[in-house]
Amino acid sequence: MNEQLTIIYEEFNRYIYHLCLKLTRNTTEAEDLMQEVWVKVVRYENNLQNVDHVKAWLTTITMNTFRDRYRKNVRRSKYMMNQPEQLDVPILDLVPNNEISTEEQIEKTEITKLVQAKMAKLDMIYQKTLWYFYVEQYSLAEISSLMKVSVGTVKSRLFRAKARLKEILVADEQLEAVVPA
């Protein structure tokens, strides 16, 4: 390891460990994650010359490594189950079925229609904001430029729109059982 990496390690080792600990909430996993992070730092040490903010660079590597580990574990746990060596059930029964049942599809369609009908009662500015964010899945910055307002205004409109929509849904007696108060 070269001198620059040694200096970076000594300066940011505790920071990276605490970040890993905060992400994993487990000392053993935090140590494993930290080790992966430092392996990546050594692997990409050539990029260090182009880095203006080392702490931000290390934080990005840590966050990306954590996300990769999390996705890998989710994928693995989705298709693998802790089972005894001999199974009493066919192996195909262990593979999750990701298809939505007909009843669930009908319920989802009905709820969508109800929410859209209630959304129509909102002011147009709130309708547009909700539509852009949840249906079109635009980022806050994209909505900001589309609506020619600041990101803070978009956040406020989203907050108010959701609160108002919830009020409208809760006020409907037919939906009392479905909408959490």
Q: For residue 75, which amino acid is it? A: R
CA distance 130 to 173: 23
Q: Which residue has the higher pLDDT, 94 or 47?
A: 47
- Angle at the Cα of 149 from the Cα atoms of 120 and 117, rounded to 5 degrees: 5
**120: which residues sit within 8 A by CB, 6+ positions away?**
127
CA distance 104 to 119: 22
pLDDT of residue 98: 60
Q: For residue 76, name the pLDDT band (cuts at 50, 70, 90).
A: low
Residue 77 confidence (pLDDT) above 80? no
Residue 152 confidence (pLDDT) above 90? yes
**88: which residues sit within 8 A by CB, 6+ positions away?**
none
Delimit the CATH 1.10.1740.10 region(s) of the chain: 3-79
The phi, psi pair for 24, rounded to 5°, reads: -90, -25
pTM of the predicted protein model? 0.43
Question: What's the mean per-residue pLDDT of the chain?
Answer: 81
**55: which residues sit within 8 A by CB, 6+ positions away?**
12, 15
Delimit the CATH 1.10.10.10 region(s) of the chain: 102-175
Q: What is the CATH number of domain 102-175?
A: 1.10.10.10
pLDDT of residue 156: 94
pLDDT of residue 75: 67
CA distance 77 to 74: 5
pLDDT of residue 154: 92
CATH topology assigned to domain 3-79: Rna Polymerase Sigma Factor; Chain: A (1.10.1740)
What are the percentages of helix, strand and coil residues in the chain, rounded to 5?
A: 75, 0, 25
13-67 residue pLDDT tens: 999 999 999 988 889 999 999 999 999 999 888 888 888 889 999 999 999 999 8
Q: Which residue has the higher pLDDT, 83 or 146?
A: 146
pLDDT of residue 153: 94
pLDDT of residue 113: 82
Half-sphere exposure of 133 (CA within 13 A, CB side): 19
